[in-house]
Structure 1
Amino acid sequence: MANQMTKAQLVAAIADETNTDKKAASAMLDALTGIITKTVSEGGAVTLPGVGKIYCRERPERMVRNPSTGEQIKKEADKVVKVTVAKALKDSINA
């Protein structure tokens, strides 16, 4: 993985782009994270224009295999968070 942005770097970038201080940018990022978490955990979806869509999907009960023993195990139904990347982001990366 080439350049991985840390939270501190992201907060600094947001503060720079929005002409605010780092404290306000950090509060905005925390608020966005909270809103996404609350919405997705309630079964909704959040679309970030130009980035993608974050949503929760239910997986049915299924049989899985333990890789070390080869034993078949029944895995209970669960939920998983999915992200569908926006076409605009895909196109900007492949351009």
Structure 2
Amino acid sequence: MNVKDILANYLDQEILVMLDAHQLNLMGQTFRPIFIGPLTNVTDGFITLSPVTIKMLNAPEYNFPTPLRFPLERIVVFTPNFSSDTVFPLS
């Protein structure tokens, strides 16, 4: 079973996704690549989360306004059934 098939089992459920980048930059804010949201689509190369909560140190509950797509090969960790209300340290 490949990653695409495994992730497809979690459609419409909230998951936590971490990417292999050390950090990302969005609108001048540097953050660790940790995203939480309902998995809305799984294709051969990408997953889509919508709506997405981005876990940033200075805004830990930032809700991104549009769906985000992530390439499967950049995902290093995913945790199914993870609530976006879960609080955890980012430092």
Q: As a proportion of its length, which structure holds more helix?
A: 1
Q: As a proportion of its length, which structure holds more strand?
A: 2
* Range of TM-score over shorter length: under 0.3
Task: State the TM-score, normalized to the length of structure 1.
Answer: 0.24
Task: State the TM-score, normalized to the length of structure 2.
Answer: 0.25
